[in-house]
Structure formats: C-alpha cells, structure tokens
Amino acid sequence: MWVAGRRAGVGSRGRVRAGSALIARGEFSIVIASLAMGTAHGDDVIALAGAYVLLAAIVGPLAAKYAETVPVPR
C-alpha cells in the first residue's frame, strides 16, 4: 500500500490512513483456509486463519482510529 500510494502521488499521512483501513479485511484468510484444505494439517491452518481474522477485527478499527497519531517518515 505504501509503494502504490507513493506512485499515485498520495502523501505519507494518506498512505498510513489507507493502510490502516485495509487491516481489517479478511480475504487473505479465506485464501489460507482454501489452501489448507489439501494439507494433512488443514485443521491447524484453518484455526490459524480464524485467529488471524479475529485479531484483524480487533486491531483494524484501532489502527484506523489512531492512524492520525502514528509518526510518519518524511
């Protein structure tokens, strides 16, 4: 997100806001879970994906709330 925002001409603060808004998206865990179905330890990976979604659901809104106070490199 940082590099893509820079290429688009977005300032540092805007890139932090965009990145923090994308934390809570759980699509990545769906990909992990679907790949895990074909492995011998599929249940463990699915549990890990569930924990990832739960953690992202908690951290995502907090990161978005405090994105303005994060120190940003110039």
pLDDT for residue 19:
81
CB 43 within 8 A of CB 7: no
Those residues whose C-beta lies under 8 Å from the C-beta of residue 5, and which sit 6 or more positions away, are 14, 15, 18, 19
CB 70 within 8 A of CB 15: no
pLDDT for residue 27:
64
Q: What is the pLDDT of residues 7-58, one digit of tens each?
A: 898 888 888 888 888 777 766 666 766 777 777 666 677 777 778 778 888 8
Those residues whose C-beta lies under 8 Å from the C-beta of residue 18, and which sit 6 or more positions away, are 1, 5, 10
Structure tokens at 27: 């699509």
pLDDT for residue 1:
67
DSSP state of 14: H
pLDDT for residue 67:
86
